[in-house]
Every structure is written in C-alpha cells, then in structure tokens.
Structure 1
Amino acid sequence: MSASTIERTARPRKSRTRSRNVNGRPALVISTLRPHQYDLRPACASLICPDCTTWVPITGIQARQQKLVPHDTGRAGKAAAVRCQGSNRLVDVDVAYEIWQQRLQDSGVETAARRPTTVLPKAFSPRTDQALRARAERTPAGRVADWNAVLPKVADVDVARRQVPAGHAPLDGSPVPMTTLHPQYPAC
C-alpha cells in the first residue's frame, strides 16, 4: 500500500511552544479583561490578543509562567505573515476557573435581561385613534362621494398649472413645449 499522495502545505509543529523568549511588555492581567475575552478551560486556555484581536492559546497554563503563543497578524493564506507584537507576552492568570465560569454565566443572564422579549404596541393619541376608527368605518360609497367632492378643486388646480405666467419670455433658447412629447421609435 502506498503512502498518501496529499502534500502538506504547512510544516507540522510541536504540540507545545517551548520558547524561552519573553516579550518585554508588561504582563497581561486576566482580571482586566471581560469574561468573554478569555477561556480558562485547561484543554484550550486562550484569550483574545489585545494587539491583533485574534484568539491565541496560552502556553503553560498549569506551569509557573504563562505566556501567549507566538502568532502572526492577518488571516492565514490571505495576508503577509507579520509577527504580532503581543507574541510571547507574559500572562498573569489571577482568576480561578470556577470564578471565571460564574462570571461568564452571570454576564449571559444579564445580557438576556437587557433584551426585550415582547414587542409592545405604541400607544395612540386620542386624535389618531379617532382618525383610525373613522377610516375603518368608511364604506366604498363614502370614499367615492369624498372623491367626487374633491374633483372640482383638482380640476381648478390643473387649469391654473397649465396657464403660462405673464412676463418676459427667454431671449435665447427654444420655447418651452406646452404639450407632452411622445417619441416614436422605428420598428425593428
């Protein structure tokens, strides 16, 4: 049986980073972050890097000294690999796992309490309520009668709109057409 013909694109790396390099910046204190910005589960202890806002594993979570894994900024395969300034930064884990879990649950409950569960209708003013009731009580015959009462006023406005105002006509340029133009296109 032959070996797999699929080529790997990335070099396999060690399961744990054992670099002795330490970032010169001050240690990142976990208690200053919000509970949803870090994860203290032993299997995948990680946090959001404040510099590049990506999730980065924390090495040595049960050791004496914890720090962020060296990581790059940008998206894999889409941007140039530039080392983040937060790489190898020391992390001060001063929150116990149980306290973090309780804070995370409390924040979820608090967020759910801020979101409304029912949509309440807007209260009507008495005038709006009266207009809505009158509209609901109107019949088609009543609407036709209202339209017939308005028609003479509409006709007067149309006649006034068609009249040319008195005054000087423009000296240069063609006169304004008073009829609607309907261009005719040749048949194809």
Structure 2
Amino acid sequence: MATTTVEPKARKRRRKTRTKNVSPLPAIVASQLKADQINLTPGKEHVICPDCKTWTPITGVLGTPVLVPHHTTPYHDRTTTPRRCSSSSRRITLDTAIDAWRADLAERTEVSATVASRRPTKVLPKPKTSSVPAASQLKPAPLSAERVRRVFRQHQEQCLACMGEVKDRTGQTMPCPDGERLAVTFLRLFRQEPKRQAVREFFARERRRFDREYAGAAPKREAGWAAVLPAVQNADQLRRAAPQGAHPTEGPEVPLDHLVPRQAAEQPEKGRLKCEHCGATESSLVDAVAAGWCLIIRRPHCGRCVDRFPAWTRTSF
C-alpha cells in the first residue's frame, strides 16, 4: 500500500498580542494624531512612535492593539548599541474610522501639494565671473618664429592630413590648410626676424639713453625746487596766518561802496538800486547787501521779493 507524504503547514498567526506585558504609559489615541502620522490600511497598521519617532507596526488590532516591541534605532543601524524603546507594547486606541482617515489623508496631501507649488524656488547665487578686460588693456603676445615653429611641429604630429593618411576619391593625398598657413607664417617671421631684432635693439638703446639723461638732469631739478621752496613755504605760512574769511594782508580791499561797471550799467538810476518786482529802492550797494538783496536773472530784487524765487536762481552781489 502506497503512502503519501503531506507537507506540514504553519499555523495561522493570531492577531492578538502574544505577550501579556503592557506598557504602563497612557494609551495613544488615534484621533489625536495627524493623518500622516498613522496608517490604518487593513493588514498594514503602523504609527509613528511618540518617543523614538520611527514607524512601528500595530499588533492585536482585533483585540488589544499595542505597539510592537522595538528599538530606538532602525534595525539596519549597527553603529550604536540597540536600546529598547520605552513605548514598546504601549496601548493605542483606534477610535478613527478608516474612511474618515483616508479622506483626511487625501485632503492633507492635496493641501501639501498646493503649498509646495506656491512655495518659491530657491534662488541660487550667480557665479562670480571676472570682468573682461577692455581692448586697450589686452596685451597680445608677440609672435616669434620659434613659437610658430613649435606650434607647426605639434600640428604635424597630430594632423592626419599632414601625415599623408587623408586621401581624396582619386587616391591623392589631400593638403592640410592649417598646416600650410602655419608654414607660411613661420617662413614670413623667419625672414623678418633680423629686422625685428634690429628694431628691438634700437628701442633698448633709446631707453638706456633716456635713463642716462633723466639721471643727469636730476641735480638741476633738485636745484630748481630748492630755489622755489622758500617762496612756497612763505606762501603757506601767510595762508595759515590769515583768519578764516579775511583777505590776505597784501591783497586789496573789496570795493563795496560802488558798483562794478557791468552792474552799474544795468541799474536804471545812478547810485540807486530798484527792485524789479515791487519797485523798492536802496541808496547804495552796501545797504542793499545788508538788506538781503540778490540778483534774479541778472535783475536786482529786494529781500522780500527774493523769497518768491527758488534758491538756485539767486545770485549775490
């Protein structure tokens, strides 16, 4: 009689908590948590632990729901010694309906997406670039036959056309325009090199001659400066000795009792000033200056009429 072997099956795991130990801490109320802090999907119940802030499964949903015993650090973190969280086996009160939790979660997700779209993007600072020098500040490197020769040799070592490996349809070697241009430039600079060397030597001689003449004229410049230095020092002493606002002792007095020729020609009456606005008169220039008279567009105005015009239009006598 044949016998059949039946594979053993694992018993169905009970949904109740396997341990009778319950944390003495007060129970967590699901209705007091935010929708994104708890997951009430059937078979995937999780909650953020209030102590270690990690997602922790909920066991015993059909009986006494509690938090699964867990550590304060993630399971993959091996850098620290694992320590049991104080909220292990802590009771949780599931007083929130699944439909209400899903609606609240969908609304919160939509609001978060709207806020993220309104949030301005981060302003990245522009990289600091150096300013481009002006055309007058550019210093072109002088061309020399030796430098062009080195560039030409380097081009010949890298260019396939100069090596003769590039051919046309008829099988003939194609010339390289860059190599020809460098060769022509090298030959031109090589022919001009003696003339360029003569010009450089001429400028060097002129520079040395100018330096010798400038050094020879230094005693004459020092002697001329020594001759005028006492006069400059005397003028500085007189300027410092003069009081603020006063004229130098050797200068003439300012004529205040009569008008200059241009101002006298503009006055309608000889020796008298007349206001162009109100017709007031003054007997002399000294009295007019003391009374605050000014010129407005080269016309005299009394102190009362001057205030009618802006300050930038006034000119003192």
Q: Quickly name the TM-score band, shorter chain normalised.
A: 0.5 to 0.7
Structure 1 residue 84 corresponds to structure 2 residue 76: no
Structure with bigger gyration radius: 2
Aligned length: 113
CA gap 1:78/1:117 in 2 versus in 1, 3 angstroms: same
Check conservation: 1:27, 1:92, Cα contact below 8 A.
yes
Taking structure 2 as the reference length, the TM-score comes to 0.32
Do the aligned residues in 2 keep the contact of 1:38 with 1:48 (CA within 8 Å)? yes
For residue 117 of structure 1, report the CA deviation from its aligned partner: 5.9
Structure of greater relative contact order (alpha carbons < 8 Å, 6+ residues apart): 1
Measure, in 1, the Cα distance between the counterparts of 2:79 and 2:119.
43
Give secondary structure in 1 for the equivalent of 2:56: strand
Residue 40 of structure 2: aligned partner:
40
Residue 119 of structure 1: how far off its partner (Å): 6.9
Structure 1 counterpart SS, 2:117? coil
Query: Which protein is richer in helix relative to its size?
Result: 2
CA deviation string 1:37-82 (max 9, x = no partner): 110011110101010011111111122x111011111132332121
AA of the residue aligned to 1:84? C
> What whole-Å deviation, never above 9, does each CA across 1:119-178 have from its counterpart, x for those lacking one?
79xxxxxxxxxxxxxxxxxxxxxx98xx9xxxxxxxxxxxxxxxxxxxxxxxxxxxxxxx
Letter in 2 for 1:74: T
Q: 1:74 to 1:118 in 2, by over 3 A?
A: closer
Runs of 4+ in 1 over 4 A off after TM superposition: 14-17, 117-120
Matches within 5 A, 1:37-116: 37-63=37-63, 65-76=64-75, 77-116=78-117
Alignment partners' CA distance in 1, 2:32 and 2:120? 36
Q: Per-residue deviation at 1:118?
A: 9.5
**Counterpart mapping for 1:117-132 below 5 A:** none
* Paired residue type of 2:69: P
User: Are the aligned partners of 1:42 and 1:61 in contact in 2 as well (CA < 8 Å)?
Assistant: no
Amino acid at match of 2:70: H
Shift of residue 31 of structure 1? 1.1
Contact 1:68 1:88 in 2 (8 A): yes
- Mapped to 1, the partners of 2:54 and 2:119 lie a distance apart of 36
> Against the structure 1 CA distance between its residues 83 and 110, is the aligned structure 2 distance closer, same or farther, given a 3 Å change threshold?
same
C-alpha separation between the residues in 2 aligned to 1:38 and 1:111? 17
* TM-score normalised by structure 1 residue count: 0.52
For the residue of structure 2 that corresponds to 1:73, the secondary structure is coil
